[in-house]
Amino acid sequence: MRVLLILLAGVSPAVLAQTQSPKRGLVFIPNSDHPEDNQIWAQAGSDLTWYYNYQWEPSPAFEDVTQEQFEFVPMLWGVTDGTGFLDSIRNRIKSGRAITHVLGFNEPDSPYSGGSNIQPSVAADVWVKNIAPLAEDGVQLGLPACTGGWGGIPWLQQFLGNCSELISTEDEKKNCTYDFVNIHWYGNFEGLASHMGSYAAAFPNTPQWITEYNLDHQDLPATESFYNISAEYLDRMDSVGRYSLYGSFRPQDSNVGPNAVMLNEDGHLTNIGSWYLGVSKTAVTNPQSGGRRLAVQMGIFVFNLMLGILLS
């Protein structure tokens, strides 16, 4: 009992915090090694209302979940030939599936892993053929999601300029329309708030979707604190339409550090994962915990114990 009281005394109110929000969505990264993880995100009582998977088509893991329960938002990740994306979305709408939003290219300003690395003029041509016409179907259009680097907003401004050139005529200058901007950010909260402010200045009166964000490669207290502060801020800001934390995987699959994840090594919700889904509090206090790690540690302990006995 004394040990329990000591442990509880060391838990800060911030660690016990939990909020709910209709803005929350999922950056879905399917796990082929542990497909059971995929069902966690659409469980009964989850706070998540929408998801995207960097693809045109919804994920098979959620084929039994209705669009009303868990809205799928298609993304045109990179360059495509012809009008394949447009045709796919329109066919799905005609079949009765409600598609209300689409996302533009993923980090087109980045040549690194995950970035689609597209020149603004090329992206503008693909946008005009595949995304812009969807406005006629009542679909809301999200601008390409650039990185959190300094070149993101200039890329978007060049893209919109190229797009305007494509649709304008000698007699009339036109601008490509969009309904919201997408923002990516990896870093501390002050940086996130500042980055959102830069977008607000560049694209005034435009709703913001924060479609990738986290505090990457930091210790657990800092990461949990960042989540709680940023979630409260994004929930409170009227300018934020939706947001999706990047971290729906286990530590061994993470490229943002082992503490920024929603699942531990056994696929159980971490504090951040539990808070984000708005479900009951987790018993997992360390994202890197798990039966596999415990088994290894116990094996080492037993080996050392037996070795000590043999050598004594």
Rounded-to-integer distance, Cα 272 and Cα 286, Å? 10
Whether 75 shows a pLDDT value over 80: the answer reads yes
Reported CATH class of domain 21-285 = alpha beta
Q: Identity (one letter) of the amino acid at 99?
A: I
Domain regions of the chain by residue span: 21-285
Q: Specify the range with the lowest mean pLDDT, choosing from 4-8, 173-177, 227-231.
A: 4-8
What kind and span of H or E run contains 85?
Answer: helix 84-94
Model confidence pLDDT, tens digit, residues 108-138: 999 998 999 999 999 999 999 999 999 999 9
Average pLDDT, the chain: 87
Rounded-to-integer distance, Cα 200 and Cα 198, Å? 5
More confident residue, 65 or 268: 268
Tell me what pLDDT residue 63 has: 85
This prediction has a pTM of 0.86
Tell me what pLDDT residue 299 has: 38
Rounded-to-integer distance, Cα 67 and Cα 72, Å? 7
Model confidence pLDDT, tens digit, residues 270-304: 999 999 998 866 768 788 887 444 333 333 333 34
Q: Which of 25, 65, 45 is nearest to 209 (CA)?
A: 25
| Dihedral sign, Cα of residue 105, residue 110, residue 116, residue 121 | positive
18 touches 281 (CB < 8 A): yes
Q: Which residues pair with 184 in a beta bridge?
A: 212
